[in-house]
A and B are shown apart, each in its own frame.
Chain A
Amino acid sequence: MFNFAFNSLYEALYMNGHGLYVWSVVILVFLSLLGFFIGYTIKIKKIKDKLNEPN
């Protein structure tokens, strides 16, 4: 069950011609998640700073 499915790192990246499709989806998902996490963290920080400002 936990055997590496490829013979080399190159094979894992190339995936018999399907690597471009698979890895582009991986990048899409990770960038979307990262973007949203960073975006909300910045938004919350900004509004907290604004609320902390003395009137």
Chain B
Amino acid sequence: MIKKFIHQFASPKTYLYQVDRFYSYIFLFSIITYIISITWGLLYTPEDFVQGNSYRIIYLHVPASFLSQSLYIAMAISSVTYLIWRVKLAAYLVIAIAPIGAMTTFIALISGSIWGIPTWGTWWQWDARITSTLILFIMYLGLISLHNSFSNHEKADKLLSWLVIVGAINIPIIKKSVDWWSTLHQSASITLTDKPSIDPVMLYPLIGSITGFFGLVICLVLLSSKYQIFIREKNKSWVKDYV
């Protein structure tokens, strides 16, 4: 029954029509939310007592870090879906998400390094959080290169899905690295279980910037997956009718 449900609602054709239906709404909501939140955070929140104005990088760094891990989890879920139920769309999503994941991880690493200069006095430290995030970035690049090196798409999808699942072990390591090891990187300011350690004046624009960035990244994933569908289904008659 689950298989029937998934296959019915996850056909590339249905997906493509749904993307077209919702894309502009998601994009509009996200871009407005992101611009308002970033402006609010950068120009309208008070200066931090300890870090001064450099803390404002939080409004760009945290959404990117959050998404870099979330996108990998989405890839892992898609990989499991593909391997168990053989849903083609799930395999397309895995390779569609990878470049976006690499981009968000790159932003997280570079913005963290830039933030590190005024805050820690160094742009790089081989501590657990930063190193595990660098590993995540290398994993994204490796997965993209590996997929591109195969001429047989189906073989590439299978191998990629297994590798993504194995690599998912890095996500809890990144998340818990600040608790398990002594690191320069601070602990999470926002968690699902505890009260946020950040003042509400600074917290609200942060939630807004995470929401806006999340939406924009979703839009990128929708575009990327649309491109993947065109590439992989180009010989199907429905694709020709669609374009």
Residues in chain A within 8 A of chain B (CB atoms): 1-6, 12, 15-19, 21-22, 24-26, 28-29, 32-33, 36-37, 40-41, 43-44, 47-48, 51-52
Is there a chain A Cβ closer than 8 Å to B61's Cβ?
A: yes
| SS class, residues of chain B in contact with chain A | helix
Which of B51-59, B135-143, B176-184, B186-194 binds A?
A: B51-59
- Closest CB-CB distance, B178 to chain A, in whole Å? 21
A47 partner residues in chain B, CB cutoff 8 A: 227, 230-231, 234
Interface 9-mer from B77-85, B99-107, B144-152, B153-161 = B99-107
- Knowing A24-B114, A29-B60, A44-B226, say if A18 contacts B52 (CB, 8 Å): yes
Q: Which of B218-243 contact A (CB under 8 A)?
A: 219-220, 223-224, 226-227, 230-231, 234, 239-240, 243
Binds A, one of B36-44, B126-134, B163-171: B36-44
Query: Which residue from chain A places its CB closest to the CB of B56 in the assembled complex?
Result: A22
Q: Return chain A residues, CB-CB under 8 Å to B103.
A: 32, 36
Please tell me if the beta carbons of B53 and A41 are within 8 angstroms of each other in the complex. Answer: no
Given the known A-B contacts A40-B223, A44-B227, are A22 and B43 also in contact in the complex, defined by CB atoms under 8 Å?
no
Contacts of A21 in B (CB 8 A): 54, 57, 114-115, 117-118
Q: List which B43-69 residues lie within 8 A (CB) of chain A.
A: 43-47, 52-54, 56-57, 60-61, 64
CB distance from A2 to the nearest CB of B (A): 5
> Are B230 and A44 in touch, CB under 8 angstroms?
yes
| Complex alpha-carbon distance, A35 and B34, angstroms | 17
Q: A28-B107, A40-B220 are in contact. Are A5 and B46 (CB under 8 A)?
A: yes
B43 touches A16 (CB 8 A): no
State whether the Cβ of B32 lies closer than 8 Å to any Cβ in chain A. no
Beyond the given pairs A5-B46, A25-B115, 5 more chain A to chain B contacts, judged by CB atoms under 8 angstroms and listed by A's residue number, are A2-B40, A5-B44, A5-B45, A25-B61, A26-B42
Q: B111 at interface (Cβ–Cβ under 8 A)?
A: yes
B118 touches A18 (CB 8 A): yes
- A22 and B42 contacting across the interface, CB-CB below 8 Å: yes
Residues in A with CB closer than 8 Å to B61 are 25
Whole-angstrom CA separation of A51 from B239 in the bound complex: 8
Q: Does B110 contact A (CB under 8 A)?
A: yes
